[in-house]
Amino acid sequence: MSKADQIFVAMCQDILANGSWDTHLQVRPRWNDGTPAHTIKKFGVVNRYDLQEEFPLLTLRRTYWKSALDELLWIWQKKSNNVHDLSSGIWDAWADENGSIGKAYGYQLGVQHPFGEGVCDQVDHVLWQLKNDPASRRIMTNIYTFADLHEMALAPCAYSMTFNVTGNRLNAILNQRSQDVLAANAWNVSQYALLVHLFAQASGLEAGELVHVIADAHIYDRHVPIIQELIAQKQHEAPKLVIDPSVRDFYAFTKGHFSVENYQFNPFDQKIEVAE
C-alpha cells in the first residue's frame, strides 16, 4: 500500500486522538456563514517521505497533481505573483484587480541578492550551489520576509526549503508554519516532492528524502467527519512518477514533461468548505 496514505492516516489519527482544540480562543478564520472556524491541532508534526521508494501521491482520494505542479512552476520557475500566469483559479480569491497577490511566494523567490558567486535570486543560488558546492550546508530558501508581510495577500504557509546532498541524493526539508490538513496536505507533499525531483534532475542528482515539518497541523471542526470518512477509505499501491530524462535545465521543464502511471484512487467526492 501507499506509504503516503499510511503517513496521512497516522497523522490524522494522532491529531484527532491527541490534538488540542482552540474553541476557547478567538480565531481569525471564518466559515462562509461567518461562524468562527475552530481547529484541533498538533504542534511540530514531522513526516518523512523516501522518494526512492515511491512518489508520495495520496490514493485515499484523488490529488490533482498536475495543478499542484502548475502552481509549483508558477512560484519556483516563473517566480510570479500574478494569477494570470497560473492555469488554475486557486489563488483568485487572494488577488487584487490586477491579478497580483502582492510581494508573496514567487515574488520573494525572484528578488535579487548579492551572493558569493554574484547577484542572483534564491532559486538560481540553490541551483548554482547544487552543481558547484554540493557539500554546502547553506543550500536553502526562505520567503517569509518580515519587511514585506504587510504587502502580501497571504503570509506564506510553506515558507522555507533546506536542501542537502548526501552521496548522489538530494534531500530536502520543507518547513510549513501552518497547514489545513484536509485541504492542503496531499497537495503540498506531492508538490514539494516534485520540486526535489526537478532540482535533482537539473543538478545531475537523484531525489532522496523529503522531510515535511509542520508547526501547526490542524483539522477544522467542520472537516472532522470528512477526515474520519477519508482515512477509512481503501488504500492502493503508490503510482509511478515519470519525468522526461532529456530535460536537464530547470527552466525548461513544463507540465508535459511529467506523467504518473498506475494512479489508482477512491472516488471520494465530499465537498470541502474552506475556511478563510
User: Given phi > 0 = left and psi -120 to 50 = alpha, else beta, which region is 118?
Assistant: left
Query: What is the pLDDT, as a whole number, of residue 276?
Result: 80
DSSP label at residue 152: B
Q: Can you tell me whether residue 202 is helix, strand or coil?
A: helix
* Count of beta carbons in the 10 Å neighbourhood of residue 209: 18
Query: What is the pLDDT, as a whole number, of residue 256?
Result: 97
Query: What is the pLDDT, as a whole number, of residue 164?
Result: 98
Query: What is the pLDDT, as a whole number, of residue 273?
Result: 83
- Positive or negative, the CA dihedral 48, 50, 53, 58 is positive
CA nearest 210: which of 50, 65, 69? 50
Alpha-carbon gap, residue 65 to 131, rounded angstroms? 28
Query: What is the pLDDT, as a whole number, of residue 269?
Result: 77
The amino acid at residue 14 is D
User: Given phi > 0 = left and psi -120 to 50 = alpha, else beta, which region is 203?
Assistant: alpha
CATH topology of domain 3-261: Thymidylate Synthase; Chain A (3.30.572)
Contact at 8 Å (CB) between 104 and 153?
A: yes
Angle (CA) 149-151-157 rounded to 5° is 45
Q: Which residues are designated catalytic?
A: 157
Alpha-carbon gap, residue 36 to 162, rounded angstroms? 35
Question: Mean pLDDT in each 10-residue stretch from start to end of the chain (276 residues)?
Answer: 96 98 96 96 98 98 96 98 95 95 98 94 98 98 98 97 98 98 97 98 98 98 97 97 98 98 92 82
